[in-house]
Amino acid sequence: LIPEALNFGLFAALEDICQKINEAGITQVALKVADEINGLRLTQQNKLSIYRIVQEVLNNMIKHANASHISIDMTKADDNMLISIKDDGDGFDLSKINDSKGIGWKNISARVHLMDGDMNIKSEKLIGTQIEISIPA
């Protein structure tokens, strides 16, 4: 199913997610979209995939990292859309990501690869996690 918020565009839908999280008052999320991103032509499928990726990453950061602040930065470099999502949470042991019983990380990774993208995860205990995604656009 396509979220209704996507009918208003990808960035409006992401702003909607951030606003709902911010209104809950537990975690504050800041979304920053560079001007050059607005001109990118993304397929509906890619928009949905990006939306679901960001949604799942935010859910993981809120549920597991005890993050109080999360930032989402979307920029363009060469012919790629770059998405950086960073929290100030607990961090985790990256070696255990493949042993995870949940399907969240597997879904995120699969969606990135379906768009011919790359994902890099950095995490440090007690410092936080940063996920960087590059998608051809």
> Per residue in 98-107, pLDDT tens?
677 677 889 9
What's at 69, amino acid-wise?
H
**Distance spanning both ends of the chain, measured CA to CA:** 23
- What's residue 103's pLDDT? 76
What stretch of H or E contains 133?
strand 128-136
Phi, psi values for residue 39, rounded to 5°: -85, -5
CA distance 10 to 5: 8
Could you say which architecture CATH assigns to the domain 4-136?
2-Layer Sandwich (3.30)
CA distance 29 to 22: 6
Whole-structure pTM value = 0.93
Task: Assign 13 to helix, strand or coil.
Answer: helix
List beta partners, residue 4.
none
Per-residue CA distances from 23 to 6, 10, 16, 33, 132 (Å): 20, 20, 11, 20, 26
Which residues of the chain are modeled with pLDDT < 50? Answer: none
| DSSP secondary structure code for residue 116 in this structure | T
